Structures are given as C-alpha cells and as structure tokens.
Amino acid sequence: MAELLIPPAQQLIDGEWAPARDKGELPVTDPATGQTIQAVARAGRADVDDAVAAARRAFPGWAATSPSERGALLRRWAELIGRHVEELAAHEARDVGKPLSGGRMNGYIAQSIVDYFAGAADKLTGVTLPTRSPGYLGYTVQEPYGVCAVVIPWNVPSVLTAANVAPALAAGNTVVLKPSEVAPLAPLALAELARRAGFPPGVLNVLTGEGAEAGAALTSHPGVNHISFVGSTTTGRAIMRAAAENLVPVKLELGGKSPNVLFADADMDVAIPAIVGSITENAGQNCYAGSRLLVEASVKDEVVERIAAAMRAVRLGPWDADLDMGPLISAAQYRRVLGFLEEAPRQGARLVTGGGPAREWARERAGGRPDGWFVEPTVFDDVDPGSRLYREEVFGPVLAVQAFSGTAQAVEMMNDTDFGLLACVWTNDVSRALRLAGEVRSGQVSVNQFADAGVIGFPFNMQKDSGFSRGGGHGAMREYTQEKAVAIRLLDR
C-alpha cells in the first residue's frame, strides 16, 4: 500500500499535482510548536482559472457517467480512506492541533460520509406528476449544476471535505475545492486518495491559497455554477454578495452559539461529561460547540462545581501526545480568545475556572514540548445576556453559564441568539423534550446527547445567522442539483 504523502508546494489541478503558476508557496504550521510542517502552493487567480477550466472540461463526461459508476468510484474512494485512516488522521491532527484520536475519528466519519453517498448516487430521483387528462405526461428530473466551488475552514477539514465534495460528485457535478490555507493537508490527502480511486482528471480539483486571494477569485468566478461555503457569518455574507453578481446559487454553513439546556431531572453523570466534551473537543473550535450552558436554577451551583472540576481535569498537549485537548489553530485565534477572556469579567461574568493562557500547563503535561497556542478550559458563570461572551462565537474552550427557572424561560433563553445551529436538551421528561424540540429555532436538536451520534444520514441543518444548508445529510445531493420539469402531450398516432 503506497504511503499517503502530499507533494510539497503543489496542488491538484486536472488530475495532476502542480505548483502555483507563479511558484508561490505558503507554510503550514503545527499550532502546538509553531514549527513549519511543510509548504503548500499559494494559488492565485491564474490557478483558479486553470482549476475551473479543468472542471468545466470534465463536467459533460462526468455528468453523463452512469450514477452507478459514479457510486462505484465513490465507494472505492471510501475504501482507500479506510485503508489510510491513520495517515489521514496524522495529517489532520498535526495540522489543526487536535489529539490524534480526534483526527482518527474524523477520518472514519469522512469515510462513512463518502460511503453513504456512494450508495445514494443512483437513487436520486424526480417525481411523476398527475395530469388533468390521460393524454398528458408530467415528470421532473434532478440535474447537476456543473462546476461547484467548495470553500471550507480549518477546524474539521476531513469531515467537511467529504460532506460537501461527496454529494456534489455523486450528483454528477465537478468540484473545485479550496481548503483553508491554515489547515490544507487533510483535504490534499483526501484528494490524492480520490485520484488513486480513479476519478477522471478535472472531476476533483484542490487549490491551496489564501481566502482573500484564491477564495475570493473562486467564489466570484464566472465559470462556477454553484458555491458551497463553510465558515464565518461575515465571510458568508461577502460570498453571497459575490455570488449575486453571477446569479449563482449558494449554500452556507456558518457560525453557532449552541446551548446545552440542563434540567434538574437529567442524568448528570451522562450530561456533564458530554457538556464538557462539547466545548473542549477541538479546543472549542467547532461551529456547533456547546458554548452556552443553561441550567435549571435549583441545581446550578452543583452543576457549575462539577463542570469546573471536569474542565480542570482536561489534559492539554500536542497532537501526538493524544491527550484530551490541543492548542488553538493560530496566533490570531489565540489573541481573539484571550480578548474574550480579558473582557468577560469587565462585563460582569464570574470566572469559575481557567481564564488565561495554558502554555506552561500543557508543557508540564507533555514532557516539556508544547510552546504553541494553548488556552485553559474556561467557565464563566452569571454571564450577562448582552455581553459579547454570551452573544458572539468565541471558537475556543470557553463556556458561558446562565440559570433559568421553568420550561418557558428555558425556551426563551435558548432562542435568545442570532444563531440557530444546534440545541441540546437534557431531561428525563419526554413531553418537555418534545416541547422544546418544537419551540427552539434551531436547525438541529439533540436530546440527552450532544450532536447527532448514532443517526445515519442526519442532516447538518441550520437556521437564522447560522446559514442554510443540509450539510451532508440524507437530502444533501438535492442541494447540488437543479430540478427540470417536463410536460408532454401524447399525440394520437
């Protein structure tokens, strides 16, 4: 089995690894040490033109390929991901800074997503419509858009690559993928596996470059027929403005400020570890991170004490130490999170645990090595609903706690946010759980678990400022197709 190596300072265009046209390069850095892992190509507008042109040339043949054959190639890709999951895990874990086990989990999730759409490729159907007389026939077909631009962030690159690229390819589109310049290694590794699986040249192209340069050129390119973006709400708005110039449809998967809503009757031994994991997994750098904890007032003191103890027990270290939590992704993110930590007490929040840098802590727990962007797992209680900590996405291991009394106030507080990504309800009262699931304005609801564990084809839906997307779920292929309606009058012959 060939080793999964990524050619330095190159990107995948038209089935071949190639440097940037101007030979530009970008360093990829280990956030636990600040050391360069390797260089990747710095794509510019000329590279974007090349990738889009390759995708346009490949589209007619790929769209005409039997859906069963497209599914077979996707299944071969999924098999290769499974064979190389340890190498893929190392690429993602080191690049992002997460523990190796987190990279491994995301590799397996990526494999399952690709395999899911391999099975779905030949099951995308239209509908037959009723007519007013037997002399007419009406039906619809789902057709691919053409060239799909996919722009993803750095936090879970393997999962996001699979969740956006696999349904697009299964539906018959070709793809130009632009991963974050901060963490491009796992997407490049996945693209190499797709190349080995036998996808025709130009069907999947990967550009590595900065968002303001390559990303902006790609999302405003007149040769792109559909845009899928995962990232910040601010950038999502900018992409929608760019897409409007070309009248290109857009799907957006943006930020979140997800609440864990904990009632007094919940199983605390199940809930508390999950709540801590929801804000420390990937150092809180997830759009769905459980960054708000709403606790029934009668148990708040006990819960906060137990949460704080669990946060203090979280072990920090570099990716290969494979502990509980790694560093933040970059110096810029480190400064941003520390800014929230410094500001929160001034806005009335009470610091319970954490609250600052954690380099020394991480260094002690990992044999003296880490010198990167580590931050302590942090809990603030009595957070003001008008504060930035309560309302804005921190993207760090920082938990904001508030108390509520009664179901009606819980619903009101759950919905008191501009975002609408995920809400988690912890209770043993099924009627209460169903009421909250119905009344919360959120694309996803979990009860007595965090996120969607155990559900196959669960859509990563969202509402409000979190965007609009089905995010790799059972209906995702339809987001990458356009419906054509056909009406036929049957002539007498």
| Residues noted as catalytic | 253, 287
What span, in angstroms and rounded, lies between the C-alpha atoms of 93 and 339? 26
What span, in angstroms and rounded, lies between the C-alpha atoms of 19 and 334? 31
Q: For tokens 């997307």, what's the residue? A: 469
Beta pairing partners, 464: 419
What span, in angstroms and rounded, lies between the C-alpha atoms of 396 and 282? 9
418 contacts: CB under 8 Å, gap ≥ 6: 257, 391, 464, 465
Q: For tokens 């997994």, what's the residue? A: 281
DSSP 370: -
**For residue 296, what is the enclosing H or E element?**
strand 292-296
Neighbour count for residue 91 (Cβ, 10 Å): 28
**For residue 368, what is the enclosing H or E element?**
none
Amino acid making up residue 12? L
Strand spans (E) along 76-135: 128-129
Helical H segments across 348-486, by residue range: 359-365, 388-391, 407-414, 430-439, 476-479
**For residue 108, what is the enclosing H or E element?**
helix 100-120
